[in-house]
């Protein structure tokens, strides 16, 4: 397991070597959260690492219960401006039976956020196999890999900016 994680991190560093980091003042405020109760945290860790390698300063919260999630909601999302939320599930299991819980989590996050246009990206095997599930649970996009997260956030923020300025 240790060797596998080491190889994953090395691979991420190699893939990010051509990425030019953003100036920190221009970086979006990103919150990365695994679905409460999710024991497979690798996806959240890899997403945070990928976003960090772009020069961003993501905030990662690992809420183990809905009560802990409520603390995250009241503290992070309603207390500070957040541009995007990355909500992750297991990369090993589809977690189809969790989709109603994911939809509820997303609805709670949108309600708690100071940002009325909060961009929500979901990731995990269940979303890799069916991109339509992202819309079904109320997310804006689904990521296929950790390296997809930052470009999806930038793409969605550009679309929002174009709508508001045009």
* 4 falls within a domain: no
Q: Provide the domain count of the chain.
A: 1
The band of 12, judged by pLDDT with boundaries at 50, 70 and 90, is: low
CATH number at residue 33: 3.40.50.280
Residues 138 and 20: their CA atoms lie apart, in Å, by 31
12 Cβ neighbours under 8 A, 6+ residues apart:
46, 49, 50, 53, 146, 147
Please name which of 82, 68, 154, 92 lies closest in space to residue 112, comparing C-alpha atoms.
82
Residues 13 and 8: their CA atoms lie apart, in Å, by 9
* 57 falls within a domain: yes
Each residue of 58-117: pLDDT tens digit? 999 887 777 777 777 667 888 889 999 999 999 999 999 999 999 999 998 999 899 999
Structure tokens at 46: 């890899």
* 20 falls within a domain: no
**Are the C-beta atoms of residues 30 and 84 closer than 8 Å to each other?**
yes
* 103 falls within a domain: yes
**Are the C-beta atoms of residues 122 and 88 closer than 8 Å to each other?**
yes
* 134 falls within a domain: yes
Residues 37, 43, 45, 47, CA torsion sign: negative
* 12 falls within a domain: no
**Are the C-beta atoms of residues 141 and 86 closer than 8 Å to each other?**
no
Q: Does residue 6 carry a pLDDT above 70?
A: no
Q: Which domain holds residue 91?
A: 26-165
Q: What pTM was computed for the model?
A: 0.84
Collapsing DSSP states into helix, strand and coil, what is residue 8?
Answer: helix
* 105 falls within a domain: yes
* 132 falls within a domain: yes
Please name which of 78, 91, 82, 77 lies closest in space to residue 34, comparing C-alpha atoms.
91
Higher pLDDT residue, 17 or 111? Answer: 111
Angle at 111 between CA 75 and CA 72, to 5 degrees: 25
């Amino acid at each position: 397991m240790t060797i596998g994680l080491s190889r994953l991190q090395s691979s991420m560093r190699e893939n990010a070597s051509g990425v030019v980091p953003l100036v920190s003042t221009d970086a979006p405020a990103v919150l990365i959260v695994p679905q409460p109760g999710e024991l497979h945290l690798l996806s959240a860790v890899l997403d945070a690492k990928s976003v960090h390698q772009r020069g961003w300063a993501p905030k990662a919260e690992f809420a183990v219960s809905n009560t802990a999630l409520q603390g995250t909601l009241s503290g992070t999302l309603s207390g500070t401006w957040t541009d995007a939320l990355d909500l992750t599930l297991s990369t090993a299991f589809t977690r189809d039976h969790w989709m109603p819980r994911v939809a509820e989590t997303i609805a709670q996050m949108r309600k708690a956020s100071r940002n009325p246009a909060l961009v929500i990206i979901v990731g995990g095997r269940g979303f890799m196999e069916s991109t339509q599930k992202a819309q079904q649970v109320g997310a804006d996009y689904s990521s296929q890999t950790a390296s997809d997260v930052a470009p999806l956030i930038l793409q969605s923020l550009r679309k929002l900016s174009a709508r508001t300025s045009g």
